[in-house]
Structure 1
Amino acid sequence: MRIVIAGGHGKIALRLERLLAARGDTPVGLIRNPDHAADVREAGAEPVVLDLEEATVTQLTEKVMGADAVVFAAGAGPGSGAARKATVDRDAARLLADAASLAGVRRYIMVSAIAVDEGPPPDSEPVWAAYVEAKRAADDELRRRSLETDWTILRPGRLTDGAGTGKVRLAPKVERAEIPREDVAAVIAALLDEPATIGRVLELVGGPTPIRDAVEAVGA
């Protein structure tokens, strides 16, 4: 499969690219900074430079043409303000959905965040509240596109850089907990192989179940 990954230099994306390349897929990493191209190539992916905050839908459509799936793993990142939560975490996700639709690419995996439908707590720091609202809006937009998009929304818990365990808890609702980015990447790769997870919103944390079994169980 040819899989285009928005946010191709992110911590989850680089791990996903390595997994996909190792199993014989063709990952493509969309990156804003050309200096990141070498890292993406080293992970086994084709780097494509495109700033999702500046690109037109036509420009992005050209990049996803011929793909079998797209993955939205982009984010404004730590240190960015509330405005970029909207332009990246919300608007870029919508742009990717528009481009995928125009290119005839139905499969879309959204990397979201756990419990965003609940909204931010009342005492949340403003930038965090903006992030939660941006993620919730992006998810809502994708859910409205069921006629044109075969989406799965994945909502990991608190991300860590620890070694993956290969075991998770994956369900429509789970208790908040940590999850290594390595395991998130492995779950995304498994979701791409499981069409029965289309149209599902799934929360993900560390747990007792091998990843393949967990994905198959939610798709059953």
Structure 2
Amino acid sequence: MKIVIAGGHGQIARRLGRLLAARGDRVIGLVRNPDHGPELLADGIQPVLRDLEQASCEDVAAVLSGADAVVFAAGAGPGSGAARKHTVDHRAAVLLAEAALRAGVRRYVMVSTRGAGSPPPAHADEVWAAYVDAKTAADEHLMAQDLDWTVLRPAALTNEPGSGTVRLTAERSIGEVTRDDVAGVLVALLDTPATAGLVLELAAGEHPIPAAVSRAAQQRTGLPAR
């Protein structure tokens, strides 16, 4: 498969890219900093310079041409203010959806966050509230598009080694999940077209990743879960 990852130098994105490249997929990572290119190349990922805060829909669609899927794994990142939560976590995700439609790429997997889909709690600080609002707006825009979308909302992220077992349901995620396991779930979602149209909450759990994704797909299609 040819897969384009927006935010290609991010922690989840690089883990995902390495997994895909290792099995022979062609992986393109969209980055805005040229200094990140050598690291992606070392991972087996083809870096392409596109600043999603500045690029046009046509510029991004040109990169997506011929792709089998896109993954939005970009983010304004720690230390950024509320304004960039809107321009990156919301507007860049919208731009990627518009570019996918233009390029004829139907499969779009969104890396969202816990708490998206609901108003931020009253005690949340301004930046976290802006982040949740931006992710909610991005998810809602994507779900309104004629695309084969899946929205993944991980619990609090850690850098511990992945366990390969998770909890993947439609219910609100609680607790934590490793970035390794998020990447593993993303691979399984890309390999499972029947997860299109699902909003899935992810946390550490007891189910092996392939089984957890298969169960989600079976519930989506109305087949009995095994």
Same fold per superposition (TM over 0.5): yes
Offset, 1:89: 0.1
Equivalent residue for 2:143? 143
Give per-residue Cα distances to partners, 1:19-70, cap 9 Å, x unaligned: 0011111110000100000111111110001100000001111111110000
Structure 2 counterpart of 1:178, one-letter code: E
Equivalent residue for 2:175? 177
SS at match of 2:202: strand
Q: Name the TM-score, length of structure 2 as normaliser.
A: 0.95
Equivalent residue for 1:100? 100
Tell me, yes or no, if the aligned pair for 2:173 and 2:202 is still in contact at 8 Å: no
Q: Name the TM-score, length of structure 1 as normaliser.
A: 0.98
Structure 1 counterpart of 2:45, one-letter code: A
In the TM superposition, structure 1's runs of 4+ consecutive aligned residues that sit over 6 Å from their partners are none
Distance 1:162 1:110 in 2: 22
Tell me, yes or no, if the aligned pair for 1:194 and 1:219 is still in contact at 8 Å: yes
Equivalent residue for 1:203? 201
Distance 1:44 1:207 in 2: 30
Offset, 1:175: 4.2
Aligned residues: 218
Structure 1 counterpart of 2:153, one-letter code: R
Distance 1:218 1:50 in 2: 33
Decide which moves more: 180-189 or 117-126.
Answer: 117-126
Offset, 1:115: 2.6
Give per-residue Cα distances to partners, 1:162-208, cap 9 Å, x unaligned: 10000000011144110000000010000001011000000000000
SS at match of 2:24: coil
Distance 1:124 1:175 in 2: 18
Gaps of 5+ in 2: 219-226
Distance 1:204 1:11 in 2: 17
Give per-residue Cα distances to partners, 1:69-128, cap 9 Å, x unaligned: 000000000000000000000000000000000000000000000131122111210011
Equivalent residue for 1:27? 27
